[in-house]
Amino acid sequence: MISKARIKWIKSLEMRKYRLQHKAFVAEGPKLVGELLPYSTPHYVAATRDWLLANRHLLQTATEVDEVSREELERASLLRTPQSVLAVMPIPEHTREEAIQAIAEKQLIVALDGVQDPGNVGTILRICDWFGIRRVLCSDGTADIYNPKCVQSCMGALARVEVFYCNLPEVLSKAKVPVFGTFLDGTDIYGEELSDSGIIVMGNEGNGISPEVERLVSRRLYIPNYPKGSLTTESLNVAVATGIVCAEFRRRS
């Protein structure tokens, strides 16, 4: 049974200020929770009897577990359609120094500069997971990856992709690898030489890459439309664009 105090705590984590205060976020559903549990120790798990019987092996380190009915789960859930398990997971803490160290390791990294839609951020994290990009830098103005909508849309990528919130211009200024950005006046990505390591910057949905970050971009890329020069939609969704760019980088590696 879930206490009223526990439900209030879970519900509070829908808001960013309480996620920061408690250093915790909510994950829901068998697939998502099942992917996260092998990588992190939950603060709390509430699940139906059937889920617990099938997944006891995932709860070796859980500190508190409640068996609950579906009705109880509905009262605690942040989703419109609650599933059979809910877990409160710890938010990993990363420092500025760790972010700088990440770019020093000469891997392929994605940086999000003011991407505001939680669904876009979650989808981008899922794309990074698919293409083996294990680190993502986020500007302070980027949507919170631990927003419930973001957590659900990333489909467990949080288990494998490290996310660093930082002063993006400051961290990028330390980069010793190419910094790529997408612009309408950039060079056709399909004809440009791409490297195995570097930082791919993706900008805000409406305004693109900020002037402060643009000054640090060393390689300007453009995703051409087809047929070239024809009248098409004004721009691509940022998550779609990220998928295209990451696929092209990995195709070359």
Q: What is the pLDDT of residue 39?
A: 87
Asked if residue 250 has pLDDT above 80, the reply is: yes
Which CATH number fits the domain that encloses residue 27?
3.30.1330.30
Which residue, of 62, 90, 118, is where some domain finishes?
90
Q: Which of 136, 145, 140 is CA-nearest to residue 114?
A: 140
- Token couple for 62: 């859980």
On whether both 80 and 160 belong to a single domain, the answer is no
Q: Residue 36: CB partners within 8 Å, gap ≥ 6?
A: 27, 42, 87, 89, 156, 158, 159
Per the prediction, the chain carries an average pLDDT of 91
Number of independent structural domains in the chain = 2
Q: What is the pLDDT of residue 113?
A: 97
Interstrand relation of 44-47 and 85-90 (parallel, antiparallel or unpaired): antiparallel
On whether both 127 and 247 belong to a single domain, the answer is yes
More confident residue, 134 or 101: 134
On whether both 171 and 115 belong to a single domain, the answer is yes
- Is 45 in contact with 65 (CB distance < 8 Å)? yes
On whether both 190 and 72 belong to a single domain, the answer is no
The 10s digit of each residue's pLDDT in 160-217 is 999 999 999 999 998 889 999 999 899 999 999 998 889 999 999 999 999 999 999 9
Q: Angle formed by the axes of helices 118-130 and 238-252, to 10°? A: 10
Q: What is the pLDDT of residue 59?
A: 78
The average pLDDT across 108-120 equals: 95
- Is 164 in contact with 205 (CB distance < 8 Å)? no
The average pLDDT across 91-101 equals: 81
Q: What is the pLDDT of residue 95?
A: 76
Which CATH number fits the domain that encloses residue 187?
3.40.1280.10
On whether both 25 and 109 belong to a single domain, the answer is no
On whether both 118 and 65 belong to a single domain, the answer is no
SS3 205: coil
Local confidence band at 96 (pLDDT 50, 70, 90 cut-offs): confident
Asked if residue 234 has pLDDT above 80, the reply is: no
First-to-final CA distance of the chain:
52
Q: What is the pLDDT of residue 184?
A: 87
Interstrand relation of 85-90 and 135-139 (parallel, antiparallel or unpaired): unpaired
Q: Which of 25, 23, 21 is CA-nearest to residue 10?
A: 25
On whether both 104 and 159 belong to a single domain, the answer is yes
Query: Whole-angstrom Cα distance, residue 124 to residue 35?
Result: 18
Question: Residue 109's domain spans which residues?
Answer: 96-252
Asked if residue 103 has pLDDT above 80, the reply is: no
Asked if residue 1 has pLDDT above 90, the reply is: no
On whether both 111 and 62 belong to a single domain, the answer is no
On whether both 72 and 183 belong to a single domain, the answer is no
Local confidence band at 21 (pLDDT 50, 70, 90 cut-offs): very high
On whether both 208 and 234 belong to a single domain, the answer is yes
Q: Which of 197, 196, 244 is CA-nearest to residue 221?
A: 244
On whether both 243 and 197 belong to a single domain, the answer is yes
Which residue, of 55, 90, 125, is where some domain finishes?
90
On whether both 187 and 126 belong to a single domain, the answer is yes
Q: Which of 8, 3, 27 is CA-nearest to residue 147?
A: 27
Query: Whole-angstrom Cα distance, residue 203 to residue 213?
Result: 9
Which residue, of 90, 119, 143, is where some domain finishes?
90
